[in-house]
Amino acid sequence: MELAPWREPLARALHRNRSLAYCRYFQLATIRSDGHPANRTVVYRGFMDQTNQLKMITDSRSQKVQQITKNQSAEACWYFPKTREQFRLFGQLTLITATSSDRILSSERQQVWQDLSDNARSQFFWPSPGQSRVDASEFTPPEVFPVEPPAEFCLLLLEPEHIDHLELRGEPQNRYLYWREANNNWLTQAVNP
């Protein structure tokens, strides 16, 4: 598979901002069932091999999972402070849960779980997110983390369809749009900032 043309500027931004750990966080907006927006920060976990899909992880009990089941549309907004550029990636989300029947996606979910730090893994053993606060003693992680991810652990993929890349550096600034045609061909256009 050929990489989409926006992958190169995004890879460059990740590389040039690599000294900032928080440059791997972006905001992911979804749509609630009442049509209102919902937005939150997530961690970028790389791309699915041989695809243009961004990987994230989340908890099956979270609000976003309910939203995604009804509406897969989402937009990521990612700012790179060092190079002063923003990427907005609009597309469709795919949630990979414990019951996924796709062999490649299931094994990727397992691999991502195995690569996680214990700290990140422990959150999936916490009481239900968003419910009334319970005693801190109920937040104790297991002594040994299972090799198999718990049912709460989901892999989330964003398949971008439209990208809007804004570079603040430059006089004047630069802005590029990328969009995927029905035949999977990517078009690129420089537009006014």
Ligand X SMILES: Cc1cc2nc3c(=O)[nH]c(=O)nc-3n(C[C@H](O)[C@H](O)[C@H](O)COP(=O)(O)O)c2cc1C
* Interface contacts to ligand X, rule CB under 6 A: 25, 38, 40-43, 56-59, 62-64, 129-130
Tokens (6 digits) for 34: 């009442």
> Closest approach of Cβ 101 to ligand X, in Å?
23
Smallest distance, ligand X to C-beta of residue 30, A: 7
For 146, what's the count of Cα atoms within 13 Å in the CB-facing half-sphere? 9
- Burial class (CB within 10 angstroms; exposed 0-12, middle 13-18, buried 19+) of 57: buried
**Cβ distance to ligand X smaller for residue 87 or 153:** 153
CB of 164 to ligand X, least distance (A): 22
Per-residue exposure over 31-44, b if at least 16 CB sit within 10 Å of its own CB, e if not: beeeeeeeeeebeb
Pick between residue 91 and residue 180 the one whose CB is nearest to ligand X. 91
Cβ-based nearer residue to ligand X, 63 or 100: 63
**63 vs 122 by CB, closer to ligand X:** 63
CA-based nearest residue to 145, from 112, 111, 122, 123: 122
Q: Name the minimum Å distance from CB 23 to ligand X.
A: 11
